[in-house]
Homo-oligomer: A and B are copies of this chain.
Amino acid sequence: MADGPTINTIAERAGVSIASVSRVLNGLPTRQETVRKVMAAADELGYVRNAVARSLKSRRTHQVAFAMADVGNPAYLAMLREIQPVLKAAGYRLVLHSTDAVVADEIDVLHSLGERYVDGLIMSPLRVTEAHLEMLAAARAPVVIIGSVPEGTRVDNVRADSRTGVRLAIDHLYSLGRRRIGMINGPLDTVPGAARGAAYREALGDLGLPYDEDLVQIGDFYRAEGARAVGELLARVPDVDALMCANDLIALGALDVLRASGRRVPDDVAVVGMDDTDLAAASWPSLTSVSLGSAERGKAAAELLLDRLQGGDREPRVVTVPPRLVVRASTCPEEGGTA
């Protein structure tokens, strides 16, 4: 908005107040002389022409929705930060939904596309159910899904590669001499939980390490749940020497519990998180984390949706953002200090 004519510049050119410009452009009763001045200034600055051009594109709302699973999770906030400016630069308002990963809420968001309150939707579901797929097929506006969808789903799709990401982390821990590597995961019926659990098992196998069920603890993708899960694992396997956590919030919970139990990080237990959120660099000790490119995924999703809104029909596209291991103090003391 800062580039085109604004009501500020119109007010300045017309020599009237900003409120007067607002009244005129909104069609409210105003003195004839003021109307004349404002319309002349708006014409000179090209403002009216834009407004008319906009209204001619009928049935457009100039709004796009982003349905995020959890407004408290920094990974989604990192997406939001990239989505917002891309849409704003293209003249779209952003409508924000937080679904708390409740399937019925996500289905309702897809359903309400029928009301045409937005021109398109970016959605980041934790689980993609049959109901999702049915609604996607019937969706009345373009949708981009951030996350994994079944093969053959006809939808623009931005994916992370958490399988390769987990492998990067396990290889790193192995190279540091760790052999009792635990996994703290979220629910296995979520897409990330299932993918990360399978990747952990696969990575151990490729390194010739045995898969030990005692080393795996399922909790949920939150700090308090992560802490609880690590407490249970430590009680069962006191000699664990590394923890692969399925996201940064779980890893922060792990640091809390390890600190409280008198274990040094990384000397006694090395910790790796996932998502490389802002919290990872700020944590104590700073947290080695697998970046799944949240920011890049948000940006790619916004660009895919804009392309669809501007270009119309084309084949659905899949964009996969590669992972990256960011090494910090929770595995390598020299990278920033230890507890």
A319, CB-defined interface residue at 8 Å = no
Kindly list chain B residues whose C-beta atoms are within 8 Å of the C-beta of A26: 111, 114-115, 140
A96 touches B95 (CB 8 A): yes
B1 touches A105 (CB 8 A): yes
Distance (Å) between the CB of A230 and the closest chain B CB? 16
Kindly list chain B residues whose C-beta atoms are within 8 Å of the C-beta of A60: none
A93 touches B93 (CB 8 A): no
Q: Which of B72, B95, B117, B337 contacts A284 (CB 8 A)?
A: B337
0/1 interface trace, chain A 282-316, chain B, CB 8 Å (1 if under)? 11111000000000000000000000000000000
Tier of interface size on chain A: 35 or more
Binding site for B on A (CB under 8 A): 1-2, 6-8, 17-19, 21-23, 25-26, 28, 63, 71-72, 74, 77, 80-81, 84-85, 88, 93-98, 102-105, 107-108, 110-111, 114-115, 117, 131, 134-135, 137-138, 140, 252, 259, 278-279, 282-286, 329, 336-337, 339
Q: List 14 A-B pairs, Cβ < 8 Å.
A: A1-B104, A17-B134, A19-B134, A19-B137, A22-B114, A26-B111, A26-B140, A72-B81, A93-B95, A259-B336, A279-B279, A279-B282, A282-B284, A284-B286
19 further interface pairs, Cβ-Cβ under 8 Å (given A23-B138, A284-B284) = A1-B108, A2-B102, A6-B108, A19-B134, A22-B110, A22-B111, A25-B114, A26-B140, A71-B81, A74-B278, A77-B77, A94-B95, A94-B96, A259-B337, A282-B282, A282-B284, A284-B285, A284-B329, A284-B337
